[in-house]
């Protein structure tokens, strides 16, 4: 609707919801066009099928009133509006054939006086299910009968001089009519290697996979080693790309390796800065020489681990390493940081920590060094304000279950220090076990049935958005399962509901530009999820590297209270299919929701802003960033009168925001004369606070004039020495 001369938008109270029977003519079913199910057919309880699905329309009044707004779940904030003529329609693709039960149409002031609800199997040949006449706006609940994949509201007569305008077009039904019910549970597929202490040749199997994965940075292999509870002697599990090793016990102490879980950098001549995409979880280690080596960089998690000794985070020879993440772990001895440029450790217990390079941050860590930024560069919070550990697969006797840990507030130390962690167990029978070859339609059918998702190791192309619409749904990946959106769709959208848990997978942009890759909540979400937030953990996003990929904005957080716990959102600077326009991606992470917390945020190389924050009361504990290497010249990153786009920007509208331990680095190796005005940008307000910030010029390849706004010294005097410019607190 135009803002000039438009009638005021109004919504009827809930009592106005009615079934559209008075004045409704049920269309003839003659000719067999509508497939009516026999009365004896068993049906699942009707569920909302349309939310977040692909929607199209005959016209729109403008870009702000797209068809997608009618199925985004936002009942009062976004809407579809047509041009101001009759014979307009909006339709939704349910993704698969469904048995239709009812449609709920929530009209804005510009309503349909008469309209048809139509169904189609192919989006071309339509049959009229129901005709509504004498409509008077408000909310219409229209009973439906039959099947179809596509459902549309076909407007016949407008109720006003304006167009047709729907806050929401909701279609309810079940997918039983579209095929057999999908089973839950089952085997874990060919790329999950389940071991027990009696399994023969364990070391040979570990070595075989490592040889394939050691340098396969952009390869197609995906693997998970799952170790049943027990003791394993004499193992050295070397972990390569896209490989996960995890114990199948409920507690780390249930599965012990007398040996090592090793990451080193021999494949890259002792340089660990590209040791990405791998993980270790739920194990107790007794390292052979007393210290386990875990020389990783981004997108590598170390969770629920107990190391009965020390932990060395540097590669053999102490070459470069570029940062990582530890959570919910206990290291009895010292953690040797050595050459790690930055690192974040959360809710753990350690025997000590050596060395700081640029940015080492701790929250809720027993034994962590005290804050001493800028030298040594330690930033320490006594507790983590809110957290909930990543869900994980385990064995309860002979039955697989997924444990969903409970939320913790102001937590310190591990969740399992006192024995059994708090949370709930969900049997694998309540999960659809996704295996290579599964389609998006099948995945969405499983979700519509009420199943959770367990992605087994593999690569999954999706030609439609995966829609997570049900509260408390778990989407868990094993072995860095990878989702690639085809034809420019958004890979995954989460409704504005409580308690969704996304964990353990990689979204890899496709060659056709996607507007977004991951969305939490529709635009203008406003529900309160403080008691049961959505969490995103070890979910990584990549644009380019494995091949050309594009996405305008990688991750959008619209829901309030979400927790982003360890993500690497990366526009590639090497590999295949990268270049300033080849893997164009303007924005990394955009936060619109209020009270969002990020713990361990790694976002790098975007063409414009890496992180933008619009929501109130946002918090970030640890942020690591590099600006895009491949900017061709100063003009390419000119932002109005500002030189360069900030690595982390808080919008001027925000009144309250706080962040700790942030670093931005530049390596403008195409044009080393490029200068950024600042690494960080924020409004100067009493409740917008930053602690422990730094910027670094890597070898003099480009420079920063300031750290945040106009505060902080230029890196230019440091020349090529990679000496950071720091700000202890702002304002």
Q: Which residues belong to the active site?
A: 626
Give the DSSP H or E segment for 440: helix 440-448
Of 250, 396, 413, 271, the residue nearest 328 (C-alpha)? 413
Give the DSSP H or E segment for 515: strand 514-520
Give the DSSP H or E segment for 443: helix 440-448
Q: Which residues contact 146 (CB under 8 A, 6 or more apart)?
A: 34, 35, 36, 37, 99, 100, 119, 127, 129
Which residue has tokens 């945020």?
A: 601
Q: How far apart are CA 436 and CA 338, in angstroms?
A: 40
What pairs with residue 244 in β-bridges? 224, 279
Taking a C-beta distance cutoff of 8 angstroms, is the pair 216, 240 a contact?
yes
Give the DSSP H or E segment for 660: strand 657-666
Q: How far apart are CA 585 and CA 645, in angstroms?
A: 13
SS3 content of the chain, % helix, strand, coil (to 5): 5, 45, 45
DSSP state of 18: E
Taking a C-beta distance cutoff of 8 angstroms, is the pair 111, 135 a contact?
yes
Q: Which residues contact 463 (CB under 8 A, 6 or more apart)?
A: 439, 440, 486, 487, 489
Q: Which two tokens stand for residue 602?
A: 């790694």
Q: How far apart are CA 115 and CA 93, in angstroms?
A: 19
| Three-state DSSP class for residue 636 | helix
Q: Where are the beta strands (DSSP E) in 230-316?
A: 230-238, 243-247, 255-262, 278-281, 284-285, 291-293, 300-303, 306-307, 310-312
Taking a C-beta distance cutoff of 8 angstroms, is the pair 121, 146 a contact?
no
């Amino acid at each position: 609707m135009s803002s000039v001369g438009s009638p005021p938008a109004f919504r009827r109270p809930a009592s106005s919801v009615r079934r559209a029977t008075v004045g409704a003519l049920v269309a003839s079913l003659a000719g067999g066009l509508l497939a009516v199910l026999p009365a004896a057919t068993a049906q699942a309880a009707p569920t909302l099928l349309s939310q977040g699905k692909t929607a199209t329309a005959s016209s729109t009044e403008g870009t702000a009133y797209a068809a997608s707004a009618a199925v985004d779940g936002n009942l009062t904030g976004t809407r579809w509006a047509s041009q101001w003529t009759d014979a307009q329609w909006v339709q939704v693709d349910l993704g698969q054939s469904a048995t239709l039960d009812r449609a709920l149409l929530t009209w804005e002031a510009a309503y349909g006086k008469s309209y048809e609800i139509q169904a189609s199997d192919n989006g071309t040949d339509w049959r009229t299910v129901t005709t509504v006449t004498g409509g008077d706006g408000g909310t219409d609940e229209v009973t439906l009968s039959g099947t179809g994949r596509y459902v549309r509201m076909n407007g016949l007569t407008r109720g006003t001089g304006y167009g047709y305008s729907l806050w929401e077009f909701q279609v309810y039904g079940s997918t039983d009519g579209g095929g057999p019910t999908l089973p839950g549970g089952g085997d874990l597929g060919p790329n999950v290697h389940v071991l027990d202490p009696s399994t023969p040749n364990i070391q040979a199997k570990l070595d075989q996979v490592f040889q394939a994965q050691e340098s396969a940075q952009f390869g197609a292999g995906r693997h998970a080693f799952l170790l049943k509870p027990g003791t394993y002697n004499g193992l050295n599990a070397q972990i390569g790309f896209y490989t996960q090793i995890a114990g199948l016990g409920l507690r780390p102490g249930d599965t012990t390796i007398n040996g090592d879980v090793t990451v080193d950098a021999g494949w890259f001549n002792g340089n660990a800065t590209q040791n990405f995409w791998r993980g270790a979880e739920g194990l107790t280690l007794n390292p052979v020489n007393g210290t386990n080596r875990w020389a990783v960089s981004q997108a590598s998690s170390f969770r629920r681990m107990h190391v009965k000794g020390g932990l060395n985070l540097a590669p053999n020879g102490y070459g470069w390493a570029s940062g990582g993440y530890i959570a919910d772990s206990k290291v009895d001895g010292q953690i040797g940081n050595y050459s790690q440029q930055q690192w974040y450790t959360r809710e753990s217990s350690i025997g000590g920590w050596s060395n700081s390079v640029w940015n080492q941050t701790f929250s809720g860590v027993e034994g962590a060094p005290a804050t001493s930024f800028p030298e040594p560069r330690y930033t320490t919070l006594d507790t983590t304000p809110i957290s909930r550990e990543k869900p994980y697969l385990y064995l309860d006797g002979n039955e697989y279950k997924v444990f969903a840990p409970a939320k913790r507030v102001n937590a310190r130390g591990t969740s399992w220090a006192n024995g059994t962690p708090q949370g709930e167990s969900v049997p694998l029978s309540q999960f659809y076990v996704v295996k290579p070859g599964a389609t998006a339609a099948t995945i969405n059918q499983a979700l519509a049935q009420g199943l959770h998702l367990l992605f087994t190791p593999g690569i999954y192309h999706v030609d439609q958005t995966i829609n997570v619409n049900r509260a408390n749904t778990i989407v868990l990946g094993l072995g860095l399962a990878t989702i690639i959106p085809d034809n420019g769709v958004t890979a995954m959208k989460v409704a504005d509901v409580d308690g969704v848990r996304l964990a353990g997978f990689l979204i890899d942009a496709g060659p056709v530009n996607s507007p977004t890759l991951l969305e939490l909540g529709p635009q203008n979400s406003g529900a309160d999820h403080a008691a049961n937030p959505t969490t995103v953990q070890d979910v990584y996003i990549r644009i380019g590297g494995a091949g050309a990929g594009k996405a305008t904005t990688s991750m959008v957080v619209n829901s309030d209270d979400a927790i982003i716990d360890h993500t690497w959102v990366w526009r590639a600077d090497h590999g295949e299919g990268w270049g300033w326009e080849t893997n164009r991606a303007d924005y990394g992470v955009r936060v619109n929701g209020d009270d969002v917390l990020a713990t361990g945020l790694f976002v790098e190389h975007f063409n414009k802003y890496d992180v933008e924050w619009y929501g109130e009361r946002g918090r970030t504990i640890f942020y690591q960033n590099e600006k895009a290497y491949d900017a061709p010249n100063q003009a390419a990153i000119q932002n109005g009168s500002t030189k360069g786009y900030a690595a982390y920007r808080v919008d001027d509208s925000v009144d309250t925001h706080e962040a700790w331990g942030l670093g931005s680095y530049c390596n403008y190796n195409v044009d080393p004369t490029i200068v950024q005005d600042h690494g960080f940008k924020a409004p100067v307000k009493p409740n917008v606070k930053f602690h422990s910030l730094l910027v670094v010029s890597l070898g003099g390849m480009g420079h920063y004039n300031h750290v945040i706004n106009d505060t902080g010294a230029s890196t230019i005097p440091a020349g090529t020495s990679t000496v950071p410019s720091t700000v202890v607190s702002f304002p």
